[in-house]
A and B are shown apart, each in its own frame.
Chain A
Amino acid sequence: GENVEQHPSTLSVQEGDSAVIKCTYSDSASNYFPWYKQELGKRPQLIIDIRSNVGEKKDQRIAVTLNKTAKHFSLHITETQPEDSAVYFCAASGTNAGKSTFGDGTTLTVKP
């Protein structure tokens, strides 16, 4: 089955700096890669996603890049703010899989 690895497990940045979280996947059949943000005690919420026919997608301060050949994808957050502090999860799913396989999460702390 699919295996998703996520790095780093913790990340601390100064407000205004950029943050990058990287994930690798194992199943070349995976074709959909969402990112979720989970604040303490709350549900995971989808923040951005990318499909395998696209190399990059951007939404305001958040962007995701995908390298299908290398089987890795990354989340980029620019001009970080304290409210960006949360746990971020990457995930991968493929055709006919139904389920998503999640990375173990990255705890992002943005220091004011």
Chain B
Amino acid sequence: NAGVMQNPRHLVRRRGQEARLRCSPMKGHSHVYWYRQLPEEGLKFMVYLQKENIIDESGMPKERFSAEFPKEGPSILRIQQVVRGDSAAYFCASSSEMDRGPGYTFGSGTRLTVV
């Protein structure tokens, strides 16, 4: 079992460009969560998805950010027209059951740097 796979590990974008972050959940997991971690800060929830459905996007900024988890392929977090404040580590997690644990298995994260 390869675990939760995220790519790229590091991503550098100039202001105004688009960033696409990919996450493949663990085998057998159908729930995917995206969290953002600013430098020296905690994990902030962004969005919760199941295959082809967004279940909870209450943590997503209203503009420039979108997420999807298609029937085939990885979950994608897309940030359009990036700004310096988007620089952070973005972690994806997956789970097999919605509300009974076990806890998340996190991917290694994508560290986005906006220059």
Contacts and interface: CB of A to CB of B under 8 A. Distances in A.
Q: How large is the interface on B (under 10, 10 to 19, 20 to 34, 35 or more residues)?
A: 20 to 34
Interface string B79-115: 0000000000001000000111111111111000000
Nearest to B34: A99
B101 to A, nearest CB: 5
B82 to A, nearest CB: 22
Given A32-B99, A36-B103, A98 B58 contact: no
B48 A102 contact: no
B55 interface: yes
Interface residues of A, number: 27
Interface string A16-58: 0000000000000001101010000011111001010000000
30 contacts: A32-B99, A32-B100, A34-B103, A34-B104, A36-B104, A43-B106, A43-B107, A43-B108, A43-B109, A44-B104, A45-B106, A46-B102, A46-B105, A49-B102, A51-B100, A91-B103, A93-B99, A94-B99, A96-B98, A96-B99, A98-B31, A98-B33, A98-B55, A99-B45, A99-B48, A100-B103, A102-B42, A102-B44, A103-B42, A105-B41
